[in-house]
């Protein structure tokens, strides 16, 4: 008898359940920085790359999906399912007035599936769904007017998501890839004005709901210069040109009151617009990096990652952002990242489990896009990560499962900013190319 290997993807119902369950349970948090643009940018890298300070433009692996550079899809050798979630613990501090706010949030990051289309021609495919930005804030302000004191409550909700599909192809050391798909989201801003001293003045609520979506395209490339079978240098670049989102906006102004249970009840509609069409202009963004890579070569010629160290620069021209032709309090952002990973024994049998674990670390620094108080908002962070293999390594087996984890500590803002934020983020990723995707049949 001979064995025949066939690829068996998960049932559609299982995929649908995981996607729906991941993206319906959106966590609530309070980030005043998410008030600007399309929200607070969410780390869009794979958990693997987050563990290395976010470096991703040069990264490629035969059993993991690099969400940041489609050129890496050409290296996929097995069908891989990858999901990621993150838990954030944030502490906001305000200098004037002196206040402190803590929040803990569990947030889905991405769900993706990648596979080789042709191993012979080094052609790979990946698709999935990921979160790009979040809007979630609730800010209270009290003002003394000529006669009355007023309480203002500013609230926002929404986010930006991306459903993508991409292909990657390589010719020797040159890798090229392209992503396309659909970006979509919503942004809802409300302002409630509540008189404190007067009972004769109505409470007012002003809300603006904007929904948006459009097809997108981005691309990337990588080039690897080999020094030997065991060492190489890799260059990476990815980015997108200016893109437009089609948007629909509706404005509502009304008076309201609170019922005995504290719920708001509309009294009268003061002003309401029909749905207005417009565009949201997203700016040019790019990432460029370089890495030094080391490998282990087995006696069959197979090459396996031993370690790497990478340096990367990322920039987005947020000063060109337009929301229905209007600018926002945004400036050009940038980040400089340094990170790497190391595997003591990437192949073969070893008595120590910890020799097969992938260890990662990285740092980053830069400037955020939000410019609410007229001062730049610096950001700095430190990351530590690890990839834990679940199965023993077998040279002839294509079944692998890895649990990736990342711990991130960072801070946004300094003494020049009225509001600063310190954060602690733990990310978990499940990289699965196991029995879900393969079965044996005999004839």
In this prediction, residue 377 has a pLDDT band, given cuts at 50, 70 and 90, of very high
User: Which has the higher per-residue pLDDT, 304 or 40?
Assistant: 40
Mean pLDDT for the chain? 85
Q: How confident is the model at residue 101 (pLDDT cuts 50, 70, 90)?
A: confident
Burial 311-335 (b: 16+ CB within 10 A, else e): bbebbbbbeebbbeeeebebbbbeb
Q: What is the mean pLDDT of residues 203-226?
A: 94
- Evaluate whether 335 touches 342 at the Cβ level (below 8 Å): no
Q: What is the pLDDT of residue 28?
A: 54
Q: Which residues contact 131 (CB under 8 A, 6 or more apart)?
A: 23, 42, 44, 107, 108, 109, 110, 159, 160, 161
- Say yes or no to pLDDT of 196 above 90: no
Q: Identify the pLDDT of residue 338.
A: 98
**Rounded to whole angstroms, how far apart are CA atoms 323 and 332?**
16
Listed in sequence order, the residues at least 6 apart from 415 whose beta carbon sits closer than 8 Å to its beta carbon are none
Which tokens hold the place of 408?
């991130």
65 in Cβ contact with 76 (< 8 Å): yes
Could you read off the pLDDT of 33-91 as tens digits, one per residue?
A: 888 999 998 888 999 999 999 999 999 998 899 999 999 999 998 889 999 999 989 89
Mean pLDDT value of segment 345-353: 75
Question: What are the extents of the domains in the chain?
Answer: 3-135+157-184+213-247+279-442
CATH tag, 3-135+157-184+213-247+279-442: 2.40.160.60
- Region for residue 137 given its phi and psi (left: phi exceeds 0; alpha: psi -120 to 50; beta: otherwise): beta
Q: Report the alpha-carbon distance of residue 277 to residue 149 in Å, rounded.
A: 37
Instruction: Examine the pLDDT at 269 and tell me if it is beyond 90.
Output: no
Q: With contact defined as beta carbons under 8 Å apart, do 249 and 210 qualify? A: yes
Is residue 9 over pLDDT 50? no
Q: What confidence category does residue 335 fall into, taking pLDDT thresholds of 50, 70 and 90?
A: very high
- β-partners of residue 135 are 158
């Amino acid at each position: 008898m001979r064995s025949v290997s066939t690829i068996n993807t998960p049932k559609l119902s299982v995929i649908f359940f995981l996607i729906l369950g991941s993206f319906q349970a959106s966590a609530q948090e309070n980030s005043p920085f998410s008030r600007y643009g399309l929200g607070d940018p969410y780390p869009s890298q794979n958990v693997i790359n987050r563990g290395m300070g976010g470096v991703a433009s040069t990264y490629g692996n035969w059993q993991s999906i690099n969400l940041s550079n489609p050129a890496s899809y050409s290296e996929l050798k097995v069908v891989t399912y990858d999901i990621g979630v993150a838990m954030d613990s944030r502490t906001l501090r305000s200098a004037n007035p002196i206040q402190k706010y803590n929040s803990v949030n569990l947030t889905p990051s991405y769900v993706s599936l990648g596979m080789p289309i042709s191993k012979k021609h080094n052609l790979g495919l990946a698709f999935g769904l990921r979160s790009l930005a979040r809007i979630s804030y609730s800010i209270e302000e009290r003002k003394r007017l000529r006669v009355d004191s007023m309480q203002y409550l500013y609230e926002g909700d929404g986010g930006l998501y991306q459903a993508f599909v991409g292909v990657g192809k390589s010719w020797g050391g040159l890798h090229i890839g392209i992503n396309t798909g659909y970006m979509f989201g919503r942004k809802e801003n409300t302002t409630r004005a509540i008189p404190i001293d007067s009972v004769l003045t109505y409470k007012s609520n002003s809300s603006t709901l904007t929904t948006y979506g459009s097809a997108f395209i981005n691309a990337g490339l990588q080039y690897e210069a080999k020094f030997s079978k065991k060492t190489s240098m890799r260059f990476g670049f990815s980015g997108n040109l200016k893109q437009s989102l089609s948007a629909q906006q509706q404005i509502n102004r009304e008076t309201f009151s609170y019922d005995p249970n504290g719920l708001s009840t509309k009294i009268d509609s003061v002003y309401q617009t029909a749905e207005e069409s417009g565009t949201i202009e997203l700016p040019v963004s790019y990432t460029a990096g370089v890495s030094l890579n080391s490998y282990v070569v087995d006696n069959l010629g197979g090459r396996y990652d031993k370690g790497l160290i990478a340096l990367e620069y990322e920039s987005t021209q947020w000063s060109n952002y337009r929301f229905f032709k209007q600018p926002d309090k945004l400036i050009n952002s940038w980040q400089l990242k340094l990170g790497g990973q190391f595997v003591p024994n990437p192949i073969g049998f070893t008595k120590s489990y910890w020799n097969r674990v992938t260890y990662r670390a990285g740092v980053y620094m830069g400037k955020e896009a939000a410019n609410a108080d007229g001062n730049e908002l610096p950001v700095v962070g430190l990351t530590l990560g690890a990839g834990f293999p679940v199965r023993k390594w077998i040279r002839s087996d294509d079944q692998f499962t890895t649990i990736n984890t990342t711990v991130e500590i960072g801070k946004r803002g300094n003494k020049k900013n009225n509001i600063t934020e310190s954060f602690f983020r733990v990310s978990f990723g499940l990289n699965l190319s196991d029995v879900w995707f393969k079965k044996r049949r005999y004839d």
